[in-house]
Copies of this chain bind each other. A is one copy, B any other.
């Protein structure tokens, strides 16, 4: 601040000079390298000097030298991180840090396909976790050739491209549809969000619905009250709607109520994600929730093993992270 000339960051050479040792010794001490045996006195001198200078190792230089960035990249725009994923993400970050990785979240809505993959590849991430539908053969190939060890897809079911997928959206839709049918609904529809990014998940969930109700209608809907209002006012409505998730469910429910329809007597609604709000609104929302099958630590271990090559990934393999479960709430 008060300095006009922004001093360059202190380097390990600076620390070495301050401690009166060689640069290599600094590296040995600070990384607790077991191959080199350094006296306790020297260790202290080095640590003191490092602390005094405010020395922080340069991640770029380390990455360049070691050839490993330790970065686990999650190219999700913030807006698309749902309720469940949020908590998982925080936990996963902690677990990965313990193992020497850095979880980095990186949003780039405007970049598509290979262009996006280039942006990711520039960081030379050890692993990339990304929605499976954002991946193409070309982008996966680009990541591979640029050294990314692990690509994990998030999405509905097995993928021919990437070794692992982790969430089956079709089952979610199927669970919801079965509930609606058992409830006596004769005309079932599924909402597919118009928002880019989650639309693919919506289609997957719709596919699940149609496994149960082959003729289920598709309702494309943007997340705003106006469009929901038009839907409700349009008449000729189904008597059972799977609304993609709890937020859309609330949107639809509100619109139907405004149009004078009763929920669930006239139209039954099922959400998904089991957001807390589903249990807070009146009537309470029936929802499909996800039970976490794997602990974040297990996931971190898996990523670590894949990166280190101790485990071999196979395209088409599916690691199930969540298992959907229906939560029925009395709408009273």
By a beta-carbon cutoff of 8 Å, the part of chain A in contact with chain B is: 1, 6-10, 53-54, 56-61, 63-64, 67, 69, 77-79, 81, 85-87, 89-90, 93-94, 97, 102-111, 118-119, 121-124, 141-142, 144-147, 149, 163, 223-225, 247, 250-251, 253-254, 257, 276-277, 279-282, 313, 315
State whether B89 touches A124 (Cβ < 8 A): no
- Given A56-B142, A81-B78, A124-B58, are A6 and B147 also a contact pair (CB < 8 Å)? yes
Residues from chain B with Cβ under 8 Å of A121 in the complex = 9, 56
Shortest distance between the CB of A76 and any CB in chain B (Å): 9
C-alpha gap A276/B251 in the complex (Å): 9
Residues from chain B with Cβ under 8 Å of A250 in the complex = 277, 280-281
* 18 further contact pairs, Cβ within 8 A, besides A56-B142, A77-B93, A105-B107: A6-B147, A6-B149, A8-B67, A9-B145, A56-B118, A56-B146, A58-B122, A58-B124, A59-B122, A77-B90, A78-B90, A79-B89, A90-B107, A94-B108, A102-B119, A104-B104, A105-B105, A251-B276
Residues from chain B with Cβ under 8 Å of A144 in the complex = 1
Of B86, B102, B110, B277, which contacts A277 at CB under 8 A? B277
C-alpha gap A58/B60 in the complex (Å): 10
State whether B64 touches A78 (Cβ < 8 A): no
Residues from chain B with Cβ under 8 Å of A146 in the complex = 9-10, 54, 56
Closest 6 A/B residue pairs (Cβ): A254-B280, A105-B105, A60-B60, A60-B63, A9-B147, A56-B121
C-alpha gap A77/B85 in the complex (Å): 12
State whether A122 touches B223 (Cβ < 8 A): no
Residues from chain B with Cβ under 8 Å of A254 in the complex = 279-282
- Given A9-B146, A145-B10, are A93 and B122 also a contact pair (CB < 8 Å)? no
